[in-house]
Amino acid sequence: MKKTLLMAGLMIMTRFLAASADVDPNFYVYLCFGQSNMEGNATPEAQDKAGVDDRFQMLACVDFQNPARKMGEWYTATPPIVRQGTGLGMADYFGRTMVANLPQDVKVGVVDVAIGGTRIEGFMQEEVASYVAGEADWFKNIMAAYDNDPYKRLVDMAKIAQKKGVIKGILLHQGESNNTQQDWPQKVKKIYDRLIADLGLNAADIPLFVGETVSRAAGGACWGHNAVIARVPEVIPNSYVISSADCPQKGDGLHFTAEGYRMMGARYAQKALKLMGIDADIPEPTPAPGLKPDRKFKSLQEIGNTAFAIVNEAEGKALFGSDNQNLDCQDYETAFNDGNSGYLFKMEESEVSGCYLLRLYTPDGAPYSIWGNPGYLNSQPVSTGWCSFILGLDNRNGQDMANGAVWEICYADGKGFSLKNVGTGLYLKDASPARYDEPTYFTFCTLSETATGINTISYVPSVSSDAIYDLNGRRLNVSTLRPGIYIKNRKKIVVK
């Protein structure tokens, strides 16, 4: 009997040692969860798609078709990290910044489960079923990818990650759907405590990093929730708030731009590195050169056959064809992206006297076509409530109603061009159908690359002499300046 027990004990010990041998102590794993900003809501740009260090890994938490990824397996963390169809998010530049500042023999992996629009209750097992039952079909479809239990999927994937690496921390970005709810920190604590228990972790070793929503100064729609986020360290001692100050947003008040995600990701990493004793002075990423309005037209005759962008300069937005054939209206960085169907238009004569068709052109200058049919700017009927979108033209001069793709275009001196849809008889303002009684005035213009640096100062806000700005005109905190070139009193200064 003793011999049998001894043999059984040796077998168990052997298996334990074999499993432990596969765990790399230099593979740092971070769990990530939240809603759309953690999921990734910005279209990745060229700089985001290339050059990802293979020391930065992602564990696929669902199956992907494009790129082909299998749930439960590790891949180099090229976006999208969360699911097929998601974009650039918090984890992308968290991981990139981490590996850039850690020794070469250290890898970083992220396990990222995030659902756009979810409340914190989506990660609470006792509430998720009743919560999801009352939500829209699109939300249910996303939750179904996680078997309607995102928390369980996060734990299951974390256990797979523990076979290869060591969990070092947790990243959270959520709150917009629980805006200003005072019990939110307690709910976050409940999820955190459960993760610690279910994964056999020690809370003292596992910091929680919680990111702020878009700030009030940046036009955040849920900025009031940041005061609630600030209270998380009161209930979770080993937790840290990541500031969103100065991080740009897309214009909806909820989601960051690609630049904003780069900045936030670097800030998450900076705090994580600080806790390791690495006082990394991380320069915040700057946007890649982008397209901005250049030559502005003042008549239809001046435009002729020139391809032009349709820009709402007052709001800093532009119309464009998104990748799913819809019309969209977003900030310049989002609109003038080569991943979109197109963002330039040309006028063509229509069958309605004095009115025009607006043909979309792809980023490489080719006429946009759908299933072999020309793609035109087309408004749906006002009653549908759907967005205007880019579709082929039929014999009614509109895809969804007669003359839905025909536009009366007028220029008002000092204001810009208005777009009145012949089908609805109303004006276009944004990506919704042409349904407005009063015109919105757009700038029709060509585009040019923004400069990556400056030789002269063309404009600096008129402010007190103590104010310091970066080369993009953003006011900075003097106490946190890093070495570099800045603007003060309309002159360049060098901080060493």
Active site residue 24: no
Q: Which two tokens stand for residue 289?
A: 């050169």
The whole-angstrom separation of Cα 409 and Cα 348 is 12
Query: Could you give the maximum distance between any two Cα atoms of the chain, in Å?
Result: 100
Residue from 48, 173, 239, 255 carrying the catalytic annotation: 255
225 is catalytic: no
Looking from the CA of 162 toward its CB, the CA atoms found within 13 Å total 14
- Which residue of the set 147, 205, 252, 338 is catalytic? 252
Instruction: Judge contact between 157 and 193, C-beta under 8 A.
Output: no
| Packed helices 258-275 and 90-101: angle between N→C axes, nearest 10 degrees | 40
Torsion of CA 154, 248, 448, 462, to 10 degrees: -170
Could you tell me if 206 and 238 are in contact, meaning their C-beta atoms sit under 8 angstroms apart?
yes
Task: Considering the candidates 36, 177, 239, 322, report the single residue annotated as catalytic.
Answer: 36
Kindly report the backbone phi and psi dihedral angles of residue 317, in degrees, each rounded to the nearest multiple of 5, phi listed first: -125, 165
**Phi, psi for residue 491 in degrees, rounded to 5:** -130, 150
Q: Does the active-site annotation cover 36? A: yes
Euclidean distance between the first and the last CA atom of the chain, given in angstroms as a whole number? 75
Distance, CA of 447 to CA of 290 (rounded, Å): 9
In this structure, the dihedral spanned by the alpha carbons of residues 290, 296, 300 and 306, taken in order and rounded to 10 degrees, is -40
- Tell me the DSSP string of 283-326: PPP-PPP-EEEEEE--SHHHHTT--BEEEETTTTEEEEE-TTSB
Q: Please give the positions annotated as active site.
A: 36, 252, 255
